[in-house]
A and B are shown apart, each in its own frame.
Chain A
Amino acid sequence: MKENVLKVENVTMQFGGVIAVDNMNIVVNEKEIVSLIGPNGAGKTTAFNVITGVYAPTNGAVYFRGKKIVENYPQGKMKKLYKGENNGIYKSVLSPTPDKITKLGIARTFQNIRLFKSQTVFENILIAEHLRRTSNLFTATFHMNREEEKNMREEADRLLEILELSDVRNEMATSLPYGKQRRLEIARAMATKPSLLLLDEPAAGMNPQETDELTAFIGRIRDDFGLTIFMIEHHMDLVMEISDRIYVLDFGKPIAEGIPEEIQNNPRVIEAYLGGAADE
């Protein structure tokens, strides 16, 4: 039995009167690549935001390697407004900020690329080293951490090398072609040394060739870094080729789960999503 890396348990996210994620239950196992698919507005990005601490869920809990990292229940105005399920099961509040989640070993990319605009490719990666610093404000200011600083830079360069971005090391991040920006965002997430990587539409805006390269790239980093990957994606070729399992989300609710063949032949999925996606 493989170890459970991520477990999303009865998570509901309600914005005002709108339920974006509706009693979601998802499990991702060690070294798996699991995809989350579904029509626009299904609540996929919102689910990522709950897992990474950007939003506290309205109700439910998230576990990482068996440890509870997020929990919440309807409070205040939400007490009356709450329309979701499982009200009353959860009684405590645990809502860490995103940096705490990152420190646990969960890294993510963003649907709308969020690189550090005024900085070079190298500097974008180097920032991730900050979270493992052992220096404090004083030792860092007085440059008493030369050894650490050197290691940080070497580490960043090593990652650039492995992820094949060394050739653009000193370019401004935003001057890269779109496909490379997406890859840089993945590299930057990798630089935090995660064991679980969340990718939000990594192939969005890519042409077929770039998508193929990305497919190989994701498979490779999973193998080389021993990663577990949870991915949102609309490109069905990519999803079907690379995923061990797939969850399908519709109106905030997972309507199906299974290996790619099962999902492709699931009538409910075809009706809700794949039929439409094939037309797009």
Chain B
Amino acid sequence: MNKKKEILISIALIAAVLAVLRVLELNIPPTSQWAMLLTVLKKGSIYALVAVSMNLLNGFTGLFSLGQAGFMMIGAYTYGVLTIPVADREMVYMYYDGGIIKFALPAVLGIIAAGLAAALFAFLIGLPVLRLKSDYLAIATLGFAEIMRALFQWDTLGPLTNGSNMIRNYPTFKTILFPFIASGICITLIVLLINSTYGRAFKAIRDDEIAAEAMGINLAHHKRIAFTVSSFFAGISGALLAMFQTNVQAKSFNSAMTYEILLIVVIGGIGSVTGSCISAFLFIACSEWLLRFLDETHKIGDFTVPLMRSGFRKVVFSIIIMVIVLFFRQGIMGTKEFSISGILSRFGGKKKNNKEGGAPLQ
């Protein structure tokens, strides 16, 4: 199949998906039990972005970093702090005399600033941290995220971060199309990067650092690029999450959040972009909606179903994680990608000619 046809089909599919989303949004009343579906889709699209950004690092560059929640927090705060309308600042920063920032950026600039702020932090800590080998890198990045979380709640920084109080009243999105389009653009950019010569260098580093270096790839430079770019997109997803939640508080960006993202990446397949996307929606659907019933007490006649009580959902999740790690280490997709040409050729019975001309990803 030729490239043009593939691009046309992709565009048609994207338009169809967006149209369906819009129709759903307009027809599901907020009181309906299906309203939860919209919430899941919005949050899922945001988690898809952060999962893909983590996959860029862990799956494609082989850097086991656990700082994603920290970079999301930096993004969420940057967005919130910079976009609160000037008139509302007095109220939001009521304990800090209206804060020190006396201007407000438009939302889109705020989102970009969120990415840049996260990228700047990543760039600065990248140099010392990326010298560390696997486990130590994970510990250092996790530590960084925890330190940032404490720092953002520190009273002295209150005029900027509002201390442990909420950041709110910043612009949010009105339609479900917004997070989908924003995440979609960002994920597309990540895929383009992965398919470029830089992406090939990342994969070489993942497969064998020593050989990659012998091929003339500057390890420090390329690891820093991957780390900074990954954090940039984590920052953007943080801004989107802030918009989705309508308020942000540093304490919610804890290590449990990083584990959730890691879990999404592992379930989807380490090294698969489409896997991360699919698994983000599945995960959010399960945790926010489909498995909620596990946390409720159920009665069948006089009989109370055992185990089902608040917190049981978490137990079930832990079991799912163990099952995946023990038996399905490849996740849903392994390192494969889901692609239109791949599916068409499967249905059409045509054999894919080779990895290169065929799938748009890889």
- Report whether A131 and B216 are in contact in the complex, using a CB–CB cutoff of 8 Å: yes
Chain A residues in 8 Å Cβ range of B207 = 116-119
Bound-state CA distance A143–B197 (Å) is 10
Q: Do A99 and B218 contact each other (CB < 8 Å), given the known contacts A116-B208, A170-B355? A: yes
Is A102 within 8 A of B225, CB to CB?
Answer: no
Q: Cβ of B196 and Cβ of A140 under 8 Å apart?
A: yes
Interface string of B10-34 (1 = CB under 8 A from A): 0000000000000000000000000
A145 to B197: give the CA distance in the assembly, Å. 10
Q: From residue A193, how far is it (CB to closest CB) to chain B in Å?
A: 10
Interface residues of A in 92-141 (CB under 8 A from B): 97-100, 102-103, 107-108, 110, 114-120, 122-123, 126-131, 133, 135, 137, 140-141
> Which residues on the A side are within 8 Å of B335 (C-beta)?
118
Instruction: Name the prevailing secondary structure of the B interface residues.
Output: helix
Alpha-carbon gap, A101 to B200, bound state (A)? 21
Contact between B197 and A130 (Cβ–Cβ < 8 Å)?
A: yes
As a 0/1 sequence over residues 28 to 48 of chain A, the CB contacts with chain B under 8 angstroms (1 = contact) are: 000000000000000000000
Bound CA–CA A129/B196 (angstroms)? 12
Q: Which chain B residues in 210-267 approach chain A with CB under 8 Å?
A: 210-220, 225, 229
Could you say which residues of chain B place their CB within 8 Å of the CB of A110? 210-211, 214
Set A52, A119, A131: member contacting B203, Cβ < 8 A: A119
Partner of B216, one of A116, A130, A141: A130
Given contacts A119-B203, A135-B197, A170-B354, contact A114 B211 (CB under 8 A): yes
Complexed CA–CA distance, A103 and B210 (Å): 15
Expressed in whole angstroms, the Cα–Cα distance for A108 and B198 within the complex equals: 22
Name the interface residues of B189-209: CB closer than 8 Å to any CB of A. 189, 192-193, 196-198, 200-201, 203-204, 206-208
Q: Could you tell me the distance in whole angstroms from the C-beta of B213 to the nearest C-beta in chain A?
A: 4
Q: Contacts A114-B211, A118-B207, A127-B212; is A137 near B217 (CB within 8 Å)?
A: no
**B214 adjacent to A107 (CB under 8 Å):** yes
Instruction: Determine if A149 is an interface residue (Cβ-Cβ < 8 Å).
Output: yes
Q: How far is A1 from B271 in the complex, measured between Cα atoms in Å?
A: 54
A5 CB to nearest chain B CB (Å): 18
Query: Considering residues B189, B197, B198, B225, which has the most beta carbons from chain A within 10 angstroms of its beta carbon?
Result: B197
User: Is B135 interfacial (CB-CB < 8 Å)?
Assistant: no
Given A116-B204, A118-B207, A141-B189, also A192-B197 (CB < 8 A): no
Question: A178-214 interface mask toward B, CB cutoff 8 Å, 1 = contact, 0 = none?
Answer: 0000000000110010000000000000000000000
Cβ-closest chain B residue relative to A120: B355
By a CB distance below 8 angstroms, the chain B residues around A115 are: 208, 211
Within 8 A of B (CB), among A146-161: 148-149, 152
Residue among A99, A114, A122, A170 making CB contact with B217, cutoff 8 Å: A99
Cβ of A26 under 8 Å from chain B: no
How distant is A108 from chain B, measured CB to nearest CB, in Å? Answer: 6
Quick one: which of A108, A127, A145 contacts B204, CB cutoff 8 A? A127
Chain A residue contacts of B355, Cβ below 8 A: 120, 170
Given A115-B211, A141-B189, A97 and B196 contact (CB-CB distance below 8 Å): no
CA distance A110 to B189 in the complex (A): 35
Q: How distant is B112 from chain A, measured CB to nearest CB, in Å?
A: 15
Q: How far is the CA of A138 from the CA of B252 in the complex (A)?
A: 34
Chain B nearest CB, measured from A278 CB (Å): 33
Minimum C-beta distance from B133 to chain A (A): 15
Interface residues on B, range: 20 to 34
A103 near B211: Cβ-Cβ < 8 Å: no
A114→B210 contact, CB < 8 A: yes
* Interface contact B200-A130, CB-CB below 8 Å: yes
Residues of chain B within 8 A (CB-CB) of A107 are: 214
In the assembled complex, the Cα of A192 lies from the Cα of B200 at a distance in Å of 15
Once the chains are docked, how many angstroms separate the CA of A149 from the CA of B192?
13
A52 to B210, CA, bound (A): 11
In the complex, the answer to whether A152 meets B197 with C-beta atoms within 8 Å is yes
Interface residue? A272 (CB, 8 A): no
Partner among B197, B213, B225, B354 whose Cβ is within 8 Å of the Cβ of A133 = B197
- Contacts A102-B215, A103-B216, A131-B217 given: A126-B200 contact, CB under 8 Å? yes
A240 is an interface residue with CB less than 8 A from chain B: no
Q: What sequence of 0s and 1s flags, for each residue 178-194 of chain B, a beta carbon within 8 Å of any chain A beta carbon?
A: 00000000000100110
| Distance between Cα atoms of A128 and B204 in the complex (Å) | 10
| CB neighbours of A69 from chain B (8 A) | none
Nearest-neighbor residue (CB-CB) of B218 within chain A: A99
Residues of A within 8 A of B196 (CB): 135, 140-141, 143
A238: chain B residues at CB < 8 Å are none
**Across the interface, do A130 and B192 meet the contact criterion of CB distance under 8 Å?**
no
Would you give 22 A-B contacts (Cβ < 8 Å), ordered by A?
Answer: A52-B214, A97-B218, A97-B220, A99-B217, A100-B218, A102-B216, A114-B211, A114-B214, A115-B208, A117-B207, A118-B206, A118-B335, A127-B204, A127-B217, A128-B215, A130-B204, A130-B217, A131-B215, A137-B229, A141-B192, A143-B196, A170-B354
* Other A-B pairs beyond A110-B210, A145-B197, 12, CB < 8 Å: A54-B210, A116-B208, A117-B208, A120-B355, A126-B200, A130-B201, A130-B217, A131-B215, A137-B225, A140-B197, A148-B197, A170-B355
Residues of A at the B interface (CB closer than 8 Å) are 52, 54, 97-100, 102-103, 107-108, 110, 114-120, 122-123, 126-131, 133, 135, 137, 140-143, 145, 148-149, 152, 170, 188-189, 192
Chain B residues engaging chain A, CB cutoff 8 angstroms:
189, 192-193, 196-198, 200-201, 203-204, 206-208, 210-220, 225, 229, 271, 335, 354-356
| 5 nearest A-B residue pairs (beta carbon) | A131-B216, A102-B216, A140-B196, A114-B211, A116-B207
